[in-house]
């Protein structure tokens, strides 16, 4: 382990190395297939403190990934993406060199179209390109904190209508071409809408964050789509300012675990001639407030 790594508090079971100023930290000194209660408590604290945490050189079976996820709570079984035959709570994201579209290639928060969106996501890199295929993350805590007081007051009681139609509806690209065609259910589901606050309070930290997911927006409650779009565009652009973000380069055996309650992420599609295989487990969340 590099001598330059600095801990952020008096951890005794793990070493935490911040990756960027706004969010993100790499965690060293732990095999996540063998986590006792004291080690879990430190990992959980790092997760809350940094919003997205990363591990290197892990060897995960689907069972081990599920077991690690269950330390944080119940797992979510995706409604529209096919799980593994023997492990329906686990699914693989496969992009072949011939695939044009890439799963997650836009700023979003997982399952924002659900009544109870995801608490978190655990993604394991199995086969990753030598260059490209990074994942970007942005802190929606930092995005909220940087708003003017007037904007905060204006947003305080607004709610966004989120929809599954943009990504899983009958006209969604993923049902027509590319990797997602093989991953998703064969038939487009019923299109539904849900309401979530623009500003949510994190249930564990008590901090306020914007709650955005650009791929799942429909409109702002009480406004038309045309009226809503300028504000949604402004918030989306503001939320991904470079000083709110971090970027993670994958290696085989790497893990990213992010908090969907206070982040968005973006899977960069810049590896047209390479294959990429990831394995995902999602943590069930609660209704935002």
Is 265 tagged catalytic?
A: yes
What pLDDT, in 10s, does the model give residues 29-62?
999 999 999 999 999 999 999 999 999 999 999 9
Q: What is the Cα–Cα distance from 106 to 233, expressed in whole angstroms?
A: 14
Counts of helices then strands in the chain (DSSP H, E):
7, 16
List beta partners, residue 266.
136
Is 50 tagged catalytic?
A: no
- Least confident window among 121-135, 143-157, 160-174, 245-259: 160-174
Which of 89, 110, 200, 202 is an active site residue?
110
User: What are the helix (H) ranges across the chain?
Assistant: 37-50, 62-70, 140-145, 149-155, 165-168, 178-183, 225-239
Q: How many CA atoms lie within 13 A of 45 on its CB side?
A: 16
The answer to whether 92 and 280 have CB atoms below 8 angstroms apart is yes
Residue 241, pLDDT score? 98
Instruction: Return the H-helix or E-strand segment holding 163.
Output: strand 159-163
Q: What is the Cα–Cα distance from 178 to 17, expressed in whole angstroms?
A: 37
Kindly indicate whether the domain formed by 80-283 is annotated with CATH number 3.60.130.10: yes
Is 110 tagged catalytic?
A: yes
Cβ-based neighbour number of residue 251 at 10 Å: 11
Is 145 tagged catalytic?
A: no
Q: What is the Cα–Cα distance from 239 to 226, expressed in whole angstroms?
A: 21
The DSSP output letter for 115 is S
Tokens of 25: 């930290």
The DSSP output letter for 202 is -
Burial call 185-216: b when 16+ CB within 10 Å, e when fewer: eeebeebeebebbbbbebeeeebbbbbbbbbb
What pLDDT, in 10s, does the model give residues 190-204?
889 999 999 999 999
Cβ-based neighbour number of residue 112 at 10 Å: 25
Residue 168, pLDDT score? 84
Tokens of 286: 């609660």
For residue 272, give the nearest of 127, 95, 97 by alpha carbon: 97
- Least confident window among 132-136, 242-246, 269-273: 269-273
Which of 50, 78, 108, 200 is an active site residue?
108
Which of 202, 261, 265, 276 is an active site residue?
265
pTM for the structure as a whole: 0.92
């Amino acid at each position: 382990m590099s001598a330059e790594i600095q801990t952020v508090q008096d951890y005794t079971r793990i070493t935490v190395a911040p990756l960027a100023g706004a969010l993100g930290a790499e965690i060293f000194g732990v095999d996540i297939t063998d986590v006792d209660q004291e080690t879990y408590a430190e990992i959980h604290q790092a997760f809350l403190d940094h919003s997205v945490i990363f591990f290197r050189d892990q060897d995960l079976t689907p069972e081990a990934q599920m077991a690690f996820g269950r330390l944080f709570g119940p797992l979510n079984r995706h409604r529209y993406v096919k799980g593994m035959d023997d492990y329906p709570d686990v699914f693989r994201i496969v992009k072949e060199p011939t695939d044009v579209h890439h799963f997650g290639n836009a700023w979003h928060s997982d399952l924002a179209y659900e009544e109870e969106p995801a608490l978190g996501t655990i993604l394991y890199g199995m086969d990753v390109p030598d260059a490209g295929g990074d994942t970007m993350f942005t802190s929606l805590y930092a995005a909220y904190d940087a708003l003017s007081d007037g904007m905060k007051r204006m947003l305080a009681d607004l709610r966004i209508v989120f929809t599954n139609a943009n990504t899983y509806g009958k006209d969604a690209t993923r049902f027509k071409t590319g990797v997602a065609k093989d991953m998703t259910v064969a038939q487009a589901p019923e299109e539904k809408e849900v309401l979530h606050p623009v500003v949510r309070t994190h249930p564990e930290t008590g901090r306020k964050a914007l709650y955005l997911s650009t791929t799942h927006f429909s409109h702002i409650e009480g406004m038309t789509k045309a009226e809503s779009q300028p504000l949604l565009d402004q918030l989306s652009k503001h939320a991904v300012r470079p000083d709110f973000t971090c970027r993670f380069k994958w290696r085989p055996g790497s893990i990213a675990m992010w908090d969907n309650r206070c982040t968005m992420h973006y899977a960069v599609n810049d590896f047209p001639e390479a294959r990429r295989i990831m394995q995902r487990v999602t943590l069930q969340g609660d209704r935002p407030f």
